Amino acid sequence: MRRIDAILIALGIFFLGGVIYYVFQSIGFDATQAGIWSQGLLVLGLMGWVLTYLFRVFTNNMTYHKQVKDYDDAFFAKQLEKMSPEEIEKLMEDNN
């Protein structure tokens, strides 16, 4: 993620908080209650995002892990292409 992307996401969340605040005010909450509820929703959203991040970390479903696995798969496929059928058969026998 580029720095400008992170800045734009932060600004978007900041403005989303303001929109939520004004929505709560428009449905009848006073300024204090609207502020509390809008902050509460933003905190719950942040906690949800952190939980999805932690889930991806613990299940090794991160972009880096996928890239390493793709690289390893491509590397071993290329190595198998270079091997003769006899070498592949010997390798299979060694693994059994």
pLDDT at 39: 94
Is pTM beyond 0.95? Reply is: no
For residues 11 and 42, membership in a common domain is answered with yes
Asked if the model's pLDDT at residue 54 lies above 80, the reply is yes
Q: How far apart are CA 9 and CA 2, in angstroms?
A: 11
In terms of residue numbers, what domain contains 70?
62-96
pLDDT surpasses 80 at 31: yes
Residue 21: burial class (beta carbons within 10 Å; 0-12, 13-18, 19+): buried
- What pLDDT is stored for residue 80 in this prediction? 87
- Would 54 be classed as within a structural domain? no
- In this structure, the answer to whether residues 33 and 70 fall within a common structural domain is no
Residue 96 token pair: 């059994």
How many whole angstroms from its chain centre is CA 55? 9
Q: Are residues 71 and 40 in the same domain?
A: no
The total domain count for the chain is 2
Question: What's the pLDDT at 12?
Answer: 94
